[in-house]
Amino acid sequence: MNKNSWNADDYSQKASFVSNLAFSLVDILDVKKDEKILDLGCGEGTLAIKIQNQGANVIGIDLSEEMVLKAKEKGIETFVMSVTDLKFQNESFDKVFSNAVLHWVKDLDKSAKEIARVLKKDGKYVAEFGGYGNIKFLCEAMDEVFLTHKDFGEFNNPWNFISDIEYKKILEKNGFEVQSIELIDRPTKIEDIKVWLDIFANGITKDLTTKQKEIFKEEVEKILKNKIYSEEFGWLADYVRLRVVANKL
């Protein structure tokens, strides 16, 4: 898998929609004072702060050291850590929360096992991430450009957009009772498709030359112009989110 790299400032300025669209997810978490809550993939800490301000004790983890430092600056206790290898004792948390992270995880079974391990009995798990069909047009366009330009190498899709049925089975296998799970169509306004590619697809293009990267972005934009762009609405990325609420048995 091509690993994406993250620039915390760019993400905060140009991809704030990712956190903004998840504020309702925090409401579903139903935070209680003094609860210990783990935020998986906390990023720069936008949602972790919102949770902490409601009286919870929040710990955040992220694979990006730069993101972790930004979250620390906001007053969140954070660690560089993988969701498939949580360095916490069994039953350490009352609740686990995650937004826009788990579609980057190839082994969702292993992550579910770890989430269950660190949750207390009856602990609540609330998550949202890219689900089956997410950014279908974007993925097809990127694949087409790689196929056209053999010198780019092979297109390696870094995402894991799972269905609600498949993820429900994984959670139940790992000791969860699923309260609700659904795929949500959420066409999402993007200011500039090339900027989106710079932020979210830099792992895909990391081995390309500067010129090849520009060709890639220009051709992806051209392919998508007739699919997810209109004069009235601008760019609307074909986002599909998988939202789940579950309890550890």
- What single-letter DSSP state applies at residue 109? H
What pLDDT, on the 0 to 100 scale, is given for residue 9? 52
Q: How confident is the model over 108-123, as pLDDT tens digits?
A: 999 999 999 999 999 9
d(CA 50, CA 18): 14
Locate 231 and state its tokens: 């004069």
Q: Report the Cα 205 to chain-centroid distance in Å.
A: 19
C-beta separation of 238 from 138 below 8 A = yes
| Per-residue model confidence (pLDDT) at position 21 | 62
Question: What pLDDT is attached to residue 16?
Answer: 46
Q: In terms of C-beta distances under 8 Å and separation of at least 24 residues, what long-range contacts does 8-11 make, across chains too?
A: 8/43, 8/44, 8/64, 8/66, 8/67, 8/69, 8/70, 10/198, 10/199, 11/43, 11/44, 11/67, 11/199
Q: Which two tokens stand for residue 44?
A: 């720069």
| Phi/psi of residue 8, nearest 5 degrees | -60, -40
Closest C-alpha to 131, from 19, 38, 244: 244
Collapsing DSSP to helix, strand or coil, 177 comes out as strand
What SS3 state is found at 33?
A: coil
Q: Are 130 and 240 in contact (CB under 8 A)?
A: yes
Q: What is the pLDDT of residues 205-249, one digit of tens each?
A: 999 999 999 999 999 999 999 999 999 999 999 999 999 999 999
Give me the residues paired with residue 130 across strands: 241
**E strands in the chain:** 36-40, 57-62, 77-80, 93-99, 119-130, 176-185, 188-190, 229-230, 234-237, 240-248
Q: What is the pLDDT of residue 3?
A: 53
Domains for the chain: give ranges and CATH numbers: 8-133+158-189+240-248 (3.40.50.150)
At 191 the pLDDT is: 87
pLDDT at 65 (0 to 100): 92
pTM over 0.85: yes
What confidence score (pLDDT) does residue 247 get? 98
The residue among 47, 57, 35, 42 whose CA lies nearest residue 6 is: 42
Task: Give which of 159, 156, 95, 158 is closest to 122, Cα–Cα.
Answer: 95
Say what the pLDDT of residue 80 is. Answer: 96
The residues of the chain scoring below 70 in pLDDT are 1-22
